[in-house]
Amino acid sequence: MPNSSSSPLLSVIIPGYNEEEVLPFLREKLDHVLGRLSVRSEVVLIDDGSRDRSAEIMREFARQDSRYKALLLSRNYGHQMAITAGLDHAAGDVVVVLDADLQDPPELIPEMLAKWKEGYQVVYGQRTTRQGDSWAKKVTAGIFYRFIRRLSGVDIPRDAGDFRLMDRKVVDALKRMPEHHRFVRGMVAWAGFRQCPIFFERPPRKAGTTKYPWRKMFQFALDAIFAFSVIPLRISTGIGLLIMGFSMLEILWILYLRFILNITVKGYSSILIAILLLGGLNLLILGILGEYIGRIYIEAKNRPLYLVQEFVAHPSADQNS
């Protein structure tokens, strides 16, 4: 245990990218919620290479209040890496990850802590409704989660984001997973331990705009699939076998026509179809192979996951890590 003093320490980890509009609201909410907890707490704010004043505001919070720490990354690494960096710098016996935009209500922290005290090591927020998320986002998210659960064989909870409480044991387990393409909610599900949901209505973003445009969401989905499953490779094998079987029959048929019936078929269409179909399929499967090879290459380079520009903690903050 990192802390020997009587009351456990809670670390609240909050990644932010261009969140200057919401940070003041976030602080107000956190001060209110954390002030009423029976446990000690620290807040690790992660600036994921923002271009606005987020980093300055976070630094300011850390100077004003010893509970706040600001971890400024050297550039934008993405949401999942920012969470990873926060987990690495958290000292708590128990950790809660939440979004900066107040879509993951800090008011639920006491309820999560109660579950933790009951003995659960992971408590994840499951959304009953998602106000403020577009119709298209809800539908694609629904399809994605059903798909990834099937593909990965890991029991990744539906309708749950990265809003979760994790025991120190789980955080240490995550730290032992060195992969570069990180799908944190999948990694936590993979880790196992005693998990339980709490249900909440997801409110709309408090201020500012989404930092997940379609491009990033698509990337996120691909990362999840390729990081958690080799089934796309098996699908390629399956398609290959199917086409091979079909080709065998076709070859027998052609030989029969040629040598038994002595008919030579002109077959322009069938040749063109075969060329186009197989050409396209070849490229597709090469692409799938390429995704995995690219990932092997990135892992083989073994670069650090992220670089830290600055870690700002109040001079009086108790350093446990």
* Residue indicated by tokens 């069938």: 270
Residue 26 burial (CB count, 10 A): 24
**Per-residue interface string for the shown chain with ligand UDP, residues 72-111, x marking contact by CB under 6 A:** ----x-xx--x----------------xxx-x--------
Stretch that binds Mg ion, among 182-190, 203-211, 227-235, 245-253 (CB under 5 A): 203-211
How far is the C-alpha of 157 from the C-alpha of 196, rounded, in Å? 10
113 neighbors 214 (Cβ within 8 angstroms): no
Shortest Cβ 115–ligand UDP spacing (Å): 23
Closest contact distance (angstroms) between CB of 225 and ligand UDP is 18
CB closer to ligand UDP, 110 vs 203: 203
**Minimum distance between the CB of residue 150 and ligand UDP, rounded to whole angstroms?**
23
Q: Where are the beta strands (DSSP E) in the chain?
A: 9-16, 40-47, 68-73, 94-97, 122-130, 160-167, 195-202, 308-313
* 162 part of the interface to Mg ion, by CB under 5 A: no
163 binds ligand UDP (CB under 6 A): no
Residues 76-115 that bind Mg ion (CB under 5 A): 99, 101, 103
Q: What distances in angstroms separate CA 250 from CA 46, 186, 236, 257, 258, one per listed residue?
A: 60, 44, 21, 11, 12
Interacting partner of 17 out of ligand UDP, Mg ion, none (Cβ under 5 to 8 A depending on kind):
ligand UDP
Binding to ligand UDP in span 199-258, by CB under 6 A: 205, 210-212
Instruction: Choose the binding region for ligand UDP from 1-9, 15-23, 32-40, 172-180 (rule: CB under 6 A).
Output: 15-23
Q: What is the rounded CA–CA span in Å between residue 321 and residue 213?
A: 35
How wide is the angle at C-alpha 185 spanned by C-alphas 225 and 180, nearest 5°?
60
17 binds ligand UDP per the rule CB under 6 A: yes
Cβ atoms 160, 126 nearer than 8 A? yes
Rounded least distance, CB 249 to ligand UDP, Å: 49
- Residue 48 binding: pick among Mg ion, ligand UDP, none (C-beta 5-8 Å cut-off by kind): ligand UDP
How do beta strands 9-16 and 94-97 pair?
parallel
d(CA 247, CA 252): 9
List of residues contacting ligand UDP (CB under 6 A)? 15-17, 19, 48, 76, 78-79, 82, 99-101, 103, 205, 210-212
List of residues contacting Mg ion (CB under 5 A)? 99, 101, 103, 205
